[in-house]
Amino acid sequence: MPVSRRSLLGRLAVAYLSAAAAAYPARNTPAPAQPGDDPPSRRFHVSHYDVQLHPRLVAKTITGTTVMTLSLDDGERNVVVNRGSLQIDAVREGAEPRPFEVAGTTLRVSLEPGRPATRELTIDYQGAPSSGLVFVPERDQIYTLFSTSQWMPAIDEPDARATLRLRVTIPRGWTGAASGREVARRSSGDMQQVEWRQARAVPTYTFGFAVGRFVTATERAAGATLRYIGGAVTAGDLRTIFRETPQMIAFFESRAGVPLPGGEYAQALVARTVGQEMAGLSVMSDEYGRAVLSDPSAIGLIAHELAHQWWGNMVTCQAFTHFWLNEGFATYMAAAYREHRFGREVYLRDVASMRARVEQVRERGNDRSLVFPEWRRPSADDRTVVYQKGAYLLHELRERLGDQPFWAGVRLYTTRYFGRSVTTADFRAAMEESSRSDLSGFFERYIY
């Protein structure tokens, strides 16, 4: 039977979500001894990062300075953070140099005892990131992707929340978006420094930015300031591609019981990416934007990345072993929005696609518990488990409980843990409390 253009474009949208699952990198997090264990405890906490970054587009290099505001437990002298492949040039506390060593992808700094509990540590660094930061000279674009510690030293783990002041030096005539609110632009010659501030603490892995020679469209809708940016489209195209965003925000707010975090959201079309969420920002590819222009129903990826502003960025898995709480939720909420927008038949097709992907993994003998014993080198099938099996389990839970108890449980879970890190046990407890049901058998079957 011939395949319609609409069907092909719809499949393209699904393919983008599948590609995102396959491309999401392994994290350098120690493996818990048992599924569901907490991540290793740290005896220090970074509450704020102040970052100055100078990217060089043609050379594809960066220099930067990061100031960490941190507090240490009594007696603790060592601070260990992720550095990716960055070269560390110097570390200071105030004006005093501090000894440091690098091992693998980590930076270890030794501090003097007897200082105030809250301290500032300044790190000068440089690098030529092969991941985490994408340079596209032919398109005048630079944007982050996945790994924060590839462009700034940070605790790159999901339970580490902090605020951010980010200053990026870019050519005059460029624009863009980043985590937080843009607060200043300072020009000097043919360059400018743009400053953003993320005032609410978010996981450091959700820090990011996209800058370049972009077209921008802005609107005020759904109680939020919305910015659409892209390099290969018109402002009118941007408004068409992202015209569903206000309705999506209203839908997710109704399901979450919490407004859009920060009251601002930017969506960027960039040269190439499978799609990535950040705090207050998401990036998608030009190719995907063209698909939405051709078929307005191919909006699954837009919904998926937007859903992360609640499930992932604010209600965040405590460790990547519970990653399904981020990605399974975002995948399911995209399907739920498509149901709301296009009807039950479209939703059931999305569910059937999830189920088919999971069956393929099972047939290959690669099915896994949704709570992983570790998340160091996940395979493409492992990511399918996290995204599609996680979403399919939420469908099955909704079928078991019924619409009202299910959505009441999602709302309780989201409002209770908003701005916090969670485990699968936290999700189960909220669903059991809301539905007054014993879900031990269901969780044993579908999750463990």
User: Rounded to the nearest 5 degrees, what angle is found at the Cα of 313, between the Cα atoms of 281 and 385?
Assistant: 110
| DSSP at 26 | P
Nearest to 424, CA basis, from 378, 385, 372: 372
The beta strand positions in 4-110, using DSSP E, are 44-56, 61-72, 78-82, 87-93, 96-97, 100-103, 106-110
Q: Please check the confidence at residue 416 and state whether its pLDDT lies above 60.
A: yes
Residue 94's pLDDT band (cuts 50, 70, 90): confident
Q: Please check the confidence at residue 442 and state whether its pLDDT lies above 90.
A: yes
Q: Please check the confidence at residue 113 and state whether its pLDDT lies above 80.
A: no
CA distances (Å), origin 301, targets 244, 276, 298, 357: 12, 10, 8, 17
Q: Please check the confidence at residue 106 and state whether its pLDDT lies above 60.
A: yes
Residue 16 sits at φ, ψ, to 5 deg, of -65, -40
Residue 112 pLDDT: 82
Of the listed ranges 61-70, 107-116, 217-226, the least confidently predicted one is 107-116
Q: What digits encode the pLDDT tens for the residues 320-354?
A: 999 999 999 999 999 999 999 999 999 999 999 99
- pLDDT, averaged across the chain: 91
Q: What digits encode the pLDDT tens for the residues 193-203?
A: 999 999 999 99
Q: Please check the confidence at residue 3 and state whether its pLDDT lies above 60.
A: no
Q: Please check the confidence at residue 39 and state whether its pLDDT lies above 60.
A: no
Q: Please check the confidence at residue 34 and state whether its pLDDT lies above 50.
A: no
Output the six-digit token pair for 312. 């992932």
Q: What digits encode the pLDDT tens for the residues 234-262?
A: 999 999 999 999 999 999 999 999 999 99
Q: The pTM is what? A: 0.91
Q: What digits encode the pLDDT tens for the residues 374-400?
A: 888 899 999 999 999 999 999 999 999
Q: Give me the domains of the chain, ranges plus CATH numbers.
A: 5-35+215-446 (1.10.390.10), 44-212 (2.60.40.1730)
Output the six-digit token pair for 375. 């998340």
- Starting at the earlier edge strand, list the strands of the sheet with 100-103: 78-82, 106-110, 100-103
Residue 40 pLDDT: 54
**440 by DSSP, 3-state: which?**
helix
Q: What digits encode the pLDDT tens for the residues 268-292?
A: 999 999 899 999 999 999 999 999 9
Of residues 15 and 193, the one with the higher pLDDT is 193
Residue 22 pLDDT: 41
Q: Please check the confidence at residue 25 and state whether its pLDDT lies above 60.
A: no
Of residues 353 and 4, the one with the higher pLDDT is 353
Q: What digits encode the pLDDT tens for the residues 77-86?
A: 899 999 999 9
Q: Please check the confidence at residue 36 and state whether its pLDDT lies above 80.
A: no
Q: Please check the confidence at residue 406 and state whether its pLDDT lies above 70.
A: yes
Task: Give the pairing type, strands 78-82 and 61-72.
Answer: unpaired
Task: Give the pairing type, strands 175-178 and 315-317.
Answer: unpaired
Nearest to 145, CA basis, from 284, 250, 35, 248: 284
Residue 29 pLDDT: 33
List, as own/partner pairs, every contact residues 402-409 make where C-beta atoms lie below 8 angstroms and the sequence separation is at least 24, other chains included.
405/434, 405/435, 405/437, 406/431, 406/435, 407/255, 408/434, 408/435, 409/433, 409/434, 409/435
